[in-house]
Amino acid sequence: MSPIAYTATIIAVAVVLFVWNKLPVVFVAMLTALALWGSGVLTIGQALGGFGDPAVIFIASLFVVSSGLEVTGVTAWAGQLLIRGAGEESRTRLLVLTMGLVALLTALISVNGAVAALLPVVVVIAVRLRRNSSQLLMPLVFAAHAGSMLALTGTPVNVLVSEAGAEAGVGGFGFFEFALVGVPLLAGSMVIIVLFGKQLLPERNGATMPADFSHHAKTLVEQYGLASGIYQMRVRASSPYVGVSPSGIDLSAHPGLQLVAMQEGETAGPLRRPAVAEGDHLLVRGDADTAAAFAAQMHLAFRDDKAAGQGQDTLFNRSSGLAEVVIPPRSGLIGENVFPGMVTESGDLIILAVQRAGAEIAAANATRDAGGIVLQAGDTMLLQGTWKALDVRLDDPDVLVVNSPELVRRQAVPMGPGARQAIVILIAMVLLLATGIVPPAVAGLLAAGAIILSGIMSVEQAYRAVGWTTVILVGAMMPLSTAMVETGAAKLMADHLVNLVGDAGPVALLAGLFILTAIMGQLISNTATALIVIPIGVAAATAMGVSPRPVLMSTAVAAAAAFLTPIATPTNLMVMGPGGYAFSDYWKLGLPLLLWFFVVSVFLVPLIWRF
């Protein structure tokens, strides 16, 4: 068999296995790369070269940046804005806002960057609104493809066709000149998705969808009886408590009040200094009138003007959070005495309450003076402390964490600690990508490094943030592009098509080039496809005596129409897992969108850029 025949056979088998959907997609992708090497089509360096490709490095770094935005609550904040703007009931408004946002972002930072930034936002929205993620994620990606035609920076293909126009002597395309077709492409895509998306998309969720933690704090404080009557009081300079040892603060003279904890003013963590200072906080439990009288007498100020005593807001905020832990069998804590308000051995967490068999242990038995509570297997404790302390201290074999504080914070604390740094890093990355000062992979690596160096994420968290399935899948499938170019298969297809339609007129040429580009673009990268088709299209236009400009723009539109398979673009693969998609799900919505792109490419483009 010739190298072309081997390549065609390997592609056919890979597509069949993907559609069959019985083998893991990563396994099929790796098998494809190894088959290209085993058949002699590619060297081992070429077959595995995709894993070192700058595009793969860029995608991996985008996962870290995206996770940094999620960890700091920027994603939750953006999700709240989208939900507020769209409403919880309007599917149409939600889709239009989401698709419009990703399209605008794509025009500035490319498809990969925009989808990676908004993917966690849309997943959170799906969870919060109890919608299937499959109904939202494919529209996100397909709108990004349309948005890539809004500006020169939307995709590398736009740069390639602009440079090809300049080299052909007909001039390049302006920065926003692409929007002349980009706007109709985006508008038509939105209409198709809104009208037919519900019927053409599956009703599924990803295998690992996160739980909805938007009301987590409210649930915990209600379950542990802390929903009301919890007050955080700031120590004023004139308070008699200034300079007093924390253990010396006695509320026995104020019946109905209970001191839950002392907190440092700057960190909101348990007070570890030997003396109380101005700005520290007392966490007090009791009725409102008694708390108000106590605050006035001891020169204490409620932390906020509302002073509503809502445990949810007092205990769970940007600075500090809550975590529920269970005492497992054989835990080293079994038999230990604890009481509400007690600071843990680490010194940075507070035990707010203890429950046994789902019921709070009587307060009379839970005080320090009564000897506290002797922990048993199965007891649950509600802990409070800074988010950093919760992340670090709960990695302890003596307790089982019910819900990870990190996961809770990502959803329930909008614009949390580090949010400003994360936004600055994102803006800097966008500027680097938009201006092209450095290659995209370098911009992504710099942004990911800044996320780690700023303390937003640790190195271990960054490793966990990378979607390794997507990275391996993209890296393993990239050698297909190399094989089609190296064997001459792509050029052979292009030559045959141009010979077939070359005498039928320029519109037929556009149609033929679109079909060729669209077919190849479902199997290899649109950049590689454009590199193959552009010179053929320019040569054919010159031979016909027509301007190459409409041919080049039509090629750019066709290259963006990568809708039919998950392996067409890295972003199609990005949403495959979170959306719960199968290989055969893409063409159902992708086909009508492909037809719309065909209409724009073949019939609208010549009206704007004349032959």
- Closest-CA residue to 390 (of 322, 315, 455): 322
CB 393 within 8 A of CB 349: yes
pLDDT of 165 reads: 85
Which two tokens mark 370?
A: 């009564």
Domains 216-315 and 320-405 fall in the same CATH topology: yes
- Cα separations in angstroms, 591 against 19, 98, 390, 400, 533: 16, 21, 48, 49, 22
Cα(213)–Cα(220) distance, rounded to whole angstroms? 11
Degrees to nearest 5, angle at CA 353 with 352 and 355: 160
Residues 298-341: pLDDT tens digits?
A: 999 875 544 445 556 777 878 788 899 999 999 999 999 988 87
Cα(32)–Cα(55) distance, rounded to whole angstroms? 19
Which two tokens mark 216?
A: 């987590």
pLDDT of 307 reads: 43
CB 405 within 8 A of CB 413: no
Q: Based on the number of CB atoms within 10 Å of its own CB, is 212 exposed (0-12), middle (13-18) or buried (19 or more)?
A: middle
Give every CB contact of residue 48 below 8 A, 6+ residues apart in sequence: 33, 37, 479
Which two tokens mark 379?
A: 């007891």
Which strand ranges, in their side-by-side order, compose the sheet holding 281-285?
258-263, 281-285, 230-235, 300-302
CB 47 within 8 A of CB 37: yes
Residue with tokens 């989808």: 115
Three-class SS of residue 608? helix
Query: Does pTM surpass 0.85?
Result: no
pLDDT of 364 reads: 44
The three-state (H, E, C) secondary structure of 1-69, written as one string: CCHHHHHHHHHHHHHHHHHHCCCCHHHHHHHHHHHHHHCCCCCHHHHCHHHHCHHHHHHHHHHHHHHHH
For the domain spanning 216-315, the CATH number is 3.30.70.1450
CB 68 within 8 A of CB 425: yes
Cα-based torsion angle of the residue sequence 560, 565, 570, 575 in order, rounded to the nearest 10 degrees? 110
Superfamily for the 320-405 domain: Regulator of K+ conductance, C-terminal domain (3.30.70.1450)
Residues 408-442: pLDDT tens digits?
A: 887 777 888 888 999 999 889 878 877 778 888 89
Which two tokens mark 289?
A: 């009138």
Q: For the chain, which residues score pLDDT lower than 50?
A: 305-308, 363-365
- Cα separations in angstroms, 174 against 153, 155, 537, 548: 11, 14, 20, 16
CB 94 within 8 A of CB 125: yes
pLDDT of 446 reads: 96
CB 559 within 8 A of CB 516: no
CB neighbourhood size of 360 (10 A)? 17
pLDDT of 306 reads: 45
The domain limits of the chain are 5-27+52-209+472-581+590-601, 216-315, 320-405
